[in-house]
């Protein structure tokens, strides 16, 4: 599994560059030949990379990057949200909310700034590049995507969050966690998260967890999910404070216009996350 993850991390770099080229040239809708040429690759090579990384052809994958697909996904999630709210559910998610559970740290734990707390951490390659993962005995408390040359800087920033905690580097466990986190098998091992934030932020993050892979919501839809339909801007601010990537899936929130919008770990990575999830979990159509 580790070799597969390393291969996918290398392939992701090519996919991200392809997405960046597409986003920069979206108006003229570049052909597959142009995209491959911009990367210095043959169409055959690009086809193989996409098929191995995303499980679909570049042609199919690129459909999930378009604004038209995003708008369609928003309409679909709006319908599911209406049904969910009528049934008294918190959001449109199906399986994802059963696989990721969470709890908030107590005010006393937050005030102590980590006294008596042991935080273990390590980096691991993922299908979306390198990552830094941190956890306590109670669960995962941090997950971010980070460039390899910025890893130690990211570790320093992590340690500043809990300045009085004890930090232990644990590469083996980080690799095991990455394997579990990025396993697309819906019957995989459940994961528990430890959240640190205001009551409002935690409410937003808990709602995000109910948005399943392949689903997309807008900022206003997410605000409706927490019962505060007019709090769209505050919801956006709370999303920006999320420091547990993927597991609290802030990448699944886009603008009403279908624009991907900002993302803490880069808009091209956000597009890659959404497109790969759409290809794996979204509606299947013929090529």
Residue numbers annotated as active site: 250
- The span from the CA of 101 to the CA of 91, in Å, is 15
3 state SS of 224: helix
Structure token digits, residue 160:
């500043």
DSSP 56-76: S-HHHHHHTTSHHHHHHHHHH
């Amino acid at each position: 599994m580790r070799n597969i993850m390393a291969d996918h991390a290398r392939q992701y770099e090519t996919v991200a560059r392809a997405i960046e080229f597409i986003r920069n040239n979206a108006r003229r809708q570049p052909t597959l030949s142009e995209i491959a040429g911009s990367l210095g690759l043959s169409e055959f090579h690009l086809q193989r990379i996409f098929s191995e990384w995303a499980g679909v052809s570049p042609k199919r994958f690129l459909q999930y990057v378009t604004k038209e697909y995003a708008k369609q996904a928003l309409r679909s999630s709006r319908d599911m949200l209406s049904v969910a709210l009528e049934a008294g559910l918190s959001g449109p998610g199906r399986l994802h909310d059963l696989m990721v559970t969470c709890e908030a740290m107590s005010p006393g734990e937050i005030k102590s700034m980590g006294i008596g707390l042991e935080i273990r951490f390590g980096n691991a390659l993922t299908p979306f590049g390198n990552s830094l993962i941190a956890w306590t005995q109670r669960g995962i408390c941090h997950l971010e995507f980070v460039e390899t040359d910025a890893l130690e800087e990211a570790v320093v920033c992590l340690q500043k969050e809990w300045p009085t905690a004890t930090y232990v580097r644990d590469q083996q466990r980080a690799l095991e966690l990455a394997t579990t986190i990025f396993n697309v098998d819906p019957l995989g091992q459940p994961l528990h998260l430890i959240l640190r934030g205001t009551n409002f932020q935690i409410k937003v993050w808990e709602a995000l967890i109910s948005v399943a892979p392949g689903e997309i919501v807008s900022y206003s839809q997410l605000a409706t999910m927490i019962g505060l339909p007019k709090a769209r801007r505050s919801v956006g601010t709370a999303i920006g404070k999320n420091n547990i990537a993927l597991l609290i899936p802030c990448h699944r929130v886009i603008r009403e216009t279908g624009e991907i919008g900002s993302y803490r770990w880069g808009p091209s990575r956000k597009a890659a996350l959404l497109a790969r999830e759409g290809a794996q979990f979204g509606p299947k159509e013929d090529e």
